[in-house]
Amino acid sequence: MYLKKLKIGNVELKNNILLAPMAGITDLPFRRICEKYGAGLTCTEMVSSKGLFYNDSKTNLLLNIEDEQRPVAAQIFGSDIETMGFASEYVSNIVDIVDVNMGCPAPKIVKNGDGSKLLTNLELLEKVAEAVVKKSKVPVTVKIRKGFDSSSIVAVEVAKILEKVGVSAITIHGRTRAEFYSGQADWQIIKKVKEAVKIPVIGNGDIKSKEDAKRMFEETNVDGIMIGRAAIGNPFIFEEIINYLQGKEQRIITNEEKLQIILEHIELEIKEKGENIAIKEMRKHLAYYIRGLKDASATREKINRIESKDELFECLKAYFENI
């Protein structure tokens, strides 16, 4: 049975199908929607350790977990030992798991030596992980990539270092930093990482369907899986995977249910960020929610011009009535 409860340190998750942290996407409203459809763990967008250290209010907002399912994780990034230690202690007072980003490929992150850049300096990587584990009051997990580029595939070595310093679980995305999101994620490296350590390993990269989810378990023997892009506009994927892995019949998600969830998502977003920002933030989500449906592109253009909740609700209700 691939679907199971997953224990990360002393924290037990209700299942091993996790939502990936995604900057600009996995804010509190979206996480709550994914939790509703069964995600076993969600994580905040990545939070700057320096931002926390200097008490930046925007950074703090990213750590809002009001009314959220527990356990919940927060992801921190940085490469300065002192600030990462500080951030670790700080977020461990709020959430149940501290996750460390050692995979982000974005130039502005890599330029500062953070995210995936740590994969090029394993001595520093070890010190950062050690500091985070030492300061955290809750289990620490780390999310890595395969390596920085094809000439430095370090995931197995890194996994062993992380296990040694007391990290409780590792998530691996089967791409190098140089690949960003191109090509196909390498699941063989995920299998190798799983074989190399005793702590739980979570496989990530290119799980786009319930069938992919099962195949990831079959091919890599991982303890859990993490879904990123396939959940955007499709939080239902968690329920689909959970049912599929249990051999249960699939429940059809009707257009009424989809509309209901979209409206709920918008309401949550407004509560979190205020109408003005929320309506703009929802545009990218809505584009994904309606992708592949009738008249999606014309509707998307219309939605992108709407500035108020009432108008947006009206537009979406009319759209879903007509498809």
Ligand X SMILES: Cc1cc2nc3c(=O)[nH]c(=O)nc-3n(C[C@H](O)[C@H](O)[C@H](O)COP(=O)(O)O)c2cc1C
The residues carrying an active-site annotation are 104
The answer to whether residue 101 forms part of the interface with ligand X (CB under 6 A) is yes
Q: What is the enclosing helix (H) or strand (E) of 144?
A: strand 140-147
Alpha carbon 259 to its chain centroid, in Å, reads 24
Of 40, 71, 78, 205, the one binding ligand X (CB under 6 A) is 205
Q: For residue 295, is it left (φ>0), alpha (ψ between -120 and 50) or beta? A: left
Q: Are the beta carbons of 237 and 227 closer than 8 angstroms?
A: yes
Q: What is the Cα gyration radius of the chain?
A: 19
Of 206, 223, 239, 281, the one binding ligand X (CB under 6 A) is 206
The answer to whether residue 173 forms part of the interface with ligand X (CB under 6 A) is yes
Q: Are the beta carbons of 220 and 194 closer than 8 angstroms?
A: yes
Stretch that binds ligand X, among 33-41, 90-98, 225-233, 289-297 (CB under 6 A): 225-233
- In DSSP notation, 157-177 reads HHHHHHHHTT--EEEEEEEET
Q: Within positions 268 to 307, which residues make up the interface with ligand X, using CB under 6 A? A: none
Instruction: Write down the least CB distance from residue 308 to ligand X, Å.
Output: 26
**Helix, strand, coil in percent for the chain, rounding step 5:** 50, 15, 35
Stretch that binds ligand X, among 28-36, 223-231, 261-269, 310-318 (CB under 6 A): 223-231
The answer to whether residue 186 forms part of the interface with ligand X (CB under 6 A) is no
Of 84, 104, 190, 279, the one binding ligand X (CB under 6 A) is 104
Bridge-based pairing of strands 6-8 and 11-13 is: antiparallel
Of 230, 241, 262, 290, the one binding ligand X (CB under 6 A) is 230
> Closer CB to ligand X, residue 78 or residue 228?
228
**d(C-alpha 38, C-alpha 31), whole Å:** 11
> Closer CB to ligand X, residue 23 or residue 63?
23
Binding pattern for the stretch 112-151 against ligand X, x by CB under 6 A and - elsewhere:
-------------------------------x--------
Instruction: Write down the least CB distance from residue 47 to ligand X, Å.
Output: 9
The answer to whether residue 75 forms part of the interface with ligand X (CB under 6 A) is yes
Nearest alpha carbon to residue 228 among 65, 312, 103: 103
Of 103, 203, 224, 235, the one binding ligand X (CB under 6 A) is 103
Q: Is the dihedral of CA 171, 176, 178, 184 positive or negative?
A: negative
Binding site for ligand X (CB under 6 A): 20-25, 45-46, 75, 101, 103-104, 143, 173, 204-207, 227-230
